[in-house]
């Protein structure tokens, strides 16, 4: 019962019961007036101060409120023993609002001592015996039941934490399966394109070259026209083959198990081997979240695909740095080619648009333009998110 209104209703109810019991035995005198006054003070203390302990108070506040209630219980019981019915409210209240089992036990003992003091003050040695028996029975039952319920609550919290961990692990496993499925599909498409379209285009280039060689030395206007058409066919086939190879390279999965830096170096080595363009890699960002690594890796892959298609460059570089506060990861891909010209994201293809959309999903931004010394520069800036920080955040959210 952690709704403060329920505790208010319970406090009012027990005060009304105490007052009603005192009304059963007229005529009314000083004892009844004293009981009414103490009950009224109890209600004022609860509504002005005690209710602030709900749902859980600090240790200092909990003990202060509990001792105040104990004093009121002792005074009320000393005036009228039936005032001890207040313990039906106090024991559950101090257990429910306690920050620890130790604080709750101390409060329980204070309430029990108040009952003993009240009975002793009212009836002397006989009252001391009766009060001790009542207090021992009530406090023993309260502590036993409170510890049992607390233990059950701890088991429930532990079970909830384990369930949250299991759900988080299932989510991570599902994400890994999804990533693996995407990588397998990309690899399959790359193989299909390489084995079908790229092979056919290679054959077309070879046929055009062979036809061109056969027409060498043959005169005539028609032959010259045919030779021009064959050269155009060869040029178009070469361009289409370059596009197909670039598509295969962009679809081919790049393993990131060794970290972002190692994956970028493998990507650069493959690109340099296929195109002859020198690619250097520099990175100081380590331990990044896997999702962030995949985003940066795919952006670098697409940037090199653009270098292959459009830049006519002799060299390129990939630089990954971490800077700023809050920290951001910056991926920069530069080349010494012809520059971007008037190209903007969205014109003539989906590469830059796809990168921009992918980066925006992780809260980053994309910058594309001419380099200071010529060529083209593509920068991707994303908020830094490290793997250990993500695990800590998930654990805190589960708690």
Beta-bridged to residue 288, according to DSSP, are 386
**Beta carbons of 309 and 362 less than 8 angstroms apart:** no
- Residue 343: the pLDDT is 59
d(CA 301, CA 138): 73
322 SS3 class: strand
- Residue 258: the pLDDT is 65
**Beta carbons of 36 and 19 less than 8 angstroms apart:** yes
**Beta carbons of 112 and 136 less than 8 angstroms apart:** yes
Predicted TM-score (pTM) of the model is 0.49
**Residue pLDDT, tens place only, 173-229:** 887 788 778 777 777 777 777 777 777 777 777 877 888 777 777 777 777 777 787
- Residue 344: the pLDDT is 55
> How many other CB atoms sit within 10 Å of the CB of residue 36?
18
Closest by CA position to 18, among listed 93, 116, 84: 84
Q: What is the DSSP letter of 293?
A: H
Average pLDDT, the chain: 84
CA 25 to chain centre: 64
286: left (phi over 0), alpha (psi -120 to 50) or beta: beta
**Beta carbons of 264 and 319 less than 8 angstroms apart:** no
The two tokens of residue 229 are: 């058409």
DSSP string computed for 118-171? HHHHHHTHHHHHHHHHHHHHHHHHHHHHHHHHHHHHHHHHHHHHHHHHHHHHHH
d(CA 50, CA 360): 50
| Percentage with pLDDT > 70 across the chain | 89
What is the arrangement of strands in the sheet containing 328-335, beginning at the earlier edge strand? Answer: 278-283, 315-323, 328-335, 376-383, 365-370
- Residue 154: the pLDDT is 83
- Residue 388: the pLDDT is 52
Tell me how far apart the terminal alpha carbons of the chain are, to the nearest angstrom: 21
Rounded mean pLDDT, 86-90: 94
Strand pairing category for 278-283 and 328-335? unpaired
Model confidence at 294, in pLDDT bands (50, 70, 90)?
Answer: confident
Beta-bridged to residue 332, according to DSSP, are 319, 379
- Residue 235: the pLDDT is 79
H helix or E strand, kind and range, residue 314: none
- Residue 327: the pLDDT is 86
386 SS3 class: strand
**Residue pLDDT, tens place only, 254-286:** 555 667 888 889 889 988 888 889 999 999 877
- Look at 379 and 188; give whichever has higher pLDDT: 379
- Residue 334: the pLDDT is 93
- Residue 395: the pLDDT is 44
Model confidence at 349, in pLDDT bands (50, 70, 90)?
Answer: very low
Torsion over CA: 45, 48, 54, 59 (sign): negative
Q: What is the DSSP letter of 26?
A: P
């Amino acid at each position: 019962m952690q709704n403060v209104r329920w505790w208010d209703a319970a406090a009012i109810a027990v005060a009304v019961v105490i007052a009603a019991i005192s009304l059963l035995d007229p005529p009314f005198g000083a004892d009844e007036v004293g009981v009414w006054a103490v009950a009224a003070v109890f209600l004022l203390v609860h509504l002005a101060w005690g209710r602030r302990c709900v749902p859980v108070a600090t240790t200092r506040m909990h003990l202060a409120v509990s001792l105040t209630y104990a004093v009121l219980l002792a005074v009320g019981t000393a005036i009228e023993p039936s005032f001890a019915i207040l313990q039906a409210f106090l024991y559950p209240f101090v257990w429910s609002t306690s920050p620890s089992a130790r604080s709750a036990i101390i409060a329980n003992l204070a309430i029990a001592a108040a009952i003993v003091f009240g009975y002793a003050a009212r009836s002397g040695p006989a009252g001391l015996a009766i009060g001790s028996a009542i207090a021992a029975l009530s406090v023993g039952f309260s502590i036993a039941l409170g510890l049992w319920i607390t233990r059950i609550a701890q088991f429930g919290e532990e079970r909830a934490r384990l369930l949250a961990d299991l759900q988080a692990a299932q989510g991570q496993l599902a994400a890994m399966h999804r990533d693996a499925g995407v990588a397998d599909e990309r690899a399959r498409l790359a193989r299909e394109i390489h084995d079908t379209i790229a092979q056919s285009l290679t054959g077309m280039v070879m046929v055009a070259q062979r036809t061109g060689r056969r027409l060498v030395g043959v005169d005539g206007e028609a032959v010259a026209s045919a030779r021009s058409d064959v050269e155009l066919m060869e040029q178009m086939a070469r361009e289409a083959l370059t596009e197909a190879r670039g598509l295969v390279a962009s679809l081919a999965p790049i393993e990131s198990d060794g970290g972002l830096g190692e994956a970028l170096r493998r990507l650069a080595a493959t690109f340099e081997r296929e195109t002859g363009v020198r690619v250097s890699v520099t990175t100081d960002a380590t331990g990044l979240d896997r999702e962030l690594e995949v985003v940066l890796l795919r952006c670098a892959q697409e940037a090199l695909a653009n270098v292959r298609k459009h830049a006519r460059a002799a060299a390129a570089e990939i630089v990954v740095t971490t800077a700023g506060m809050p920290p951001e990861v910056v991926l920069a891909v530069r080349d010494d080619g012809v520059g971007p010209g008037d190209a903007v994201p969205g014109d003539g293809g989906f590469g830059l648009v796809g990168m921009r959309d992918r980066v925006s999903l992780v809260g980053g931004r994309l910058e594309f333009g001419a380099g200071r010394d010529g060529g083209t520069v593509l920068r991707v800036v994303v908020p830094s998110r490290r793997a250990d920080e993500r695990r800590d955040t998930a654990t805190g959210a589960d708690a």
